Structure 1
Amino acid sequence: MIHINEVAKQTEITVRTLRYYDQIGLLECSSKTQGGHRLYSDEDLQKLQQIQFYKSMGYRLQEIKEMLTDPDWNWTTGLVNQLTYIREEQARLKEMELSLRTLLSGITVEGGNEEQAVQKLIKLSMQDKSRPKHFKEKMFNDSELKLWAKLPNMNGEHPESMEWIALLGLIIKYRASEEPSSPCVHNVVRRMLEKQAEEFPQGDEFIDKLWELRKSPSASEQLGMYPIEPEVLEYLEQAYEIYSSTAYPGESRQGGRV
C-alpha cells in the first residue's frame, strides 16, 4: 500500500485533490493508517491514471465517475458526444480569441483609450452580421472582393495587419500634436505607401474606391469597418496630399490610403 503523500509525489496530483476524489466517491482509498492517512493500492493507482486520462479529454469528474462505475456506459455515444462538445468549445474559444485580438487592436488604434475602443466594438457587435457581406458584394466586383480579403484585419495576428494597425495608431497619436506636414507624420504616410505597393500592386483603383467609402461613416458602418472619426481621416488625407506633392512633384500619385 502507498501513502497518500507518496501518491501525490509520484503523480504530481495534490493531496487535497486526492482527498476530494475520495470524498465524492470517484477514487476511494483502499485503506487507512491508524492515524487516518489514506493508503492506495496498485489498483487504485491504475484507476487514478484512468481518471487523469479522461480528464485530459475534457470529461467532467461526474462523467468520469459514471464511466468507471456504470457497466452499461455507451462508449461510442459518450465519445461522440464529448467530441461534439470539444468542437463547440473550440469554436467558442476561437470567438473569444478573435474578440480579444480585436480589442487589443482597437486600444492600439485609439492610442490606449480602452473605453473608447470598447464602446466602438460594442456598437460593431450589435450590427446585423449579414449586412457587411451583402454591402461588399454590392459595392465591389469579384476581383475587388479578392483584394478586400487582403485588407488588414482588426482581429488578425498576421504581422502585416498588426503593422497597419500600429501605423494608424501613430496617425491618431500625431494628430493631437503634429501638423499634417510634420516629418514624423510623413514617415508614417511613406510606410503606408510602401505597404500598399507591396500588398496591393496594381490595386490603386480599388484603394481609391475603398477610401471614398471609408470617408463615409454610413458606408464604413455598412461594411462593418472599425469606426474612425472623420477628423482623423481628413487629417490623414491632408498628410497624404502634402507628402505626395513633396515626394512626387508634378506627378499624379493615386492610392496610398488603406
Structure 2
Amino acid sequence: MISIKEVTKQTGITVRTMRYYDQIDLLRPAGKTEGGHRLYGEKEIKKLQEIQFLKTIGFGLQEIKEMLADENHDWFAGLKNQLDYISKEKERLGQIEGTLRGLINEIMLNGNIDLSNMQKLIQLYQQNMDKREGYLNQTFNEEESKLLQSLPNINREDPETLEWIALIAQLKKHMSKGISSPEIQRLIKRMYEKEQEDFGDNKEFIEKVWEIRKSPQKSESAGFYPIDSETLNFFEEAYEFYLNKKGNL
C-alpha cells in the first residue's frame, strides 16, 4: 500500500485529481491511515492507469466510470462509437483550422479583417459545396481539374499560397505608383514566373481561371476567394504592360 503522495510521484497525477476521483466514486482508495490519509494498492494503481488511458483517447470521466464498473461492457461498440465521434470532431477541427488560416491570410492580404464577411463566405462555401464541384467539373477537364489543386487557397498555409498572398498584398500596397513602376513590374515578373512554375504551358487553363476570377458570379460558383475588381483590373493592365515590354526586349 502506498500513500496518495507516492501515487502522485509515480504517475504525475495531482493530489487534487486523486481526491476528485474519490469524491465522484471513480477511484476509491484501498484504505486510509489512522490519520485519515488515503492509501492505494496495486489494484487501484492499475485502475488509475486505465482511467488515464481512456481519458487520453477522449472518453469523459462519467463514461469511464460506467465502462469500468460494468463487467459486461461492450468494448467493441464503445470504442467504435468513440472512433466515430473523434472522426467527426477531427473534421470539425479541420474546418476551424482552415477558417483560422483564412482569417490570418486575409489580414496579410488586406491589412484588416471583416469577420461578418468571412462568416458569410464560410457559410456560402459549405452550403454550396456540391454545386461548386459540379460547376468546376463542367468548366475544367480531368487534366485541368488536377491543376486546380495548385491554385492558392486562402484557408491554407502552404508556401505557394503564402507567396501568392504576399505578392497580391504588395501589389495592392503599391498600386498608387502605377502599372509601369519598378515596384509593380517586379511583382508582376514574379507572378509571371510563378504562373509558369505552377501551370507551365497550360494557357487554356490559365485563361479559364482568369475568366472566372474576373466575374464575381463565376468566382462565387467556383468557390474562389473574392478579390475586388479594382485590384483585378490593375493586375490585368500591369500584366499586359509586362508582357508587351518583355516581348520588345
Question: Amino acid of the residue matched to residue 199 of structure 1?
Answer: D
List alignment gaps of at least 5 residues for structure 1: 251-258
User: Which residue does the alignment assign to 1:119?
Assistant: 116
Question: Aligned pair in 2 of structure 1 residues 167, 119: CA closer, same or farther (>3 Å)?
Answer: farther
User: Which residue does the alignment assign to 1:97?
Assistant: 97
1: CA distance, partners of 2:149 / 2:134? 15
In the TM superposition, 1:1-258 aligns within 5 A as 1-111=1-111, 113-115=112-114, 118-127=115-124, 128-175=128-175, 177-249=176-248
Question: Aligned pair in 2 of structure 1 residues 55, 126: CA closer, same or farther (>3 Å)?
Answer: closer
**Preserved CA contact (<8 Å) 1:32 1:39:** yes
C-alpha displacement of 1:39 = 2.0
Identity %: 48
SS at match of 2:129: coil
C-alpha displacement of 1:29 = 1.3
Question: Amino acid of the residue matched to residue 88 of structure 2?
Answer: E
Higher helix share: 2
**Preserved CA contact (<8 Å) 1:132 1:224:** yes
Deviations 1:142-192 (A, max 9, x none): 3332322321222223211221122122222223x4322221222211111
Give the number of aligned pairs: 246
C-alpha displacement of 1:200 = 0.5
SS at match of 2:150: coil
**Preserved CA contact (<8 Å) 1:29 1:44:** yes
Q: CA RMSD in A?
A: 1.9
2: CA distance, partners of 1:55 / 1:126? 33
Question: Amino acid of the residue matched to residue 193 of structure 2?
Answer: E
Higher relative contact order (CA 8 A, sep 6+): 1
Deviations 1:65-94 (A, max 9, x none): 112111221122212222222222222222
2: CA distance, partners of 1:105 / 1:158? 11
List alignment gaps of at least 5 residues for structure 2: none
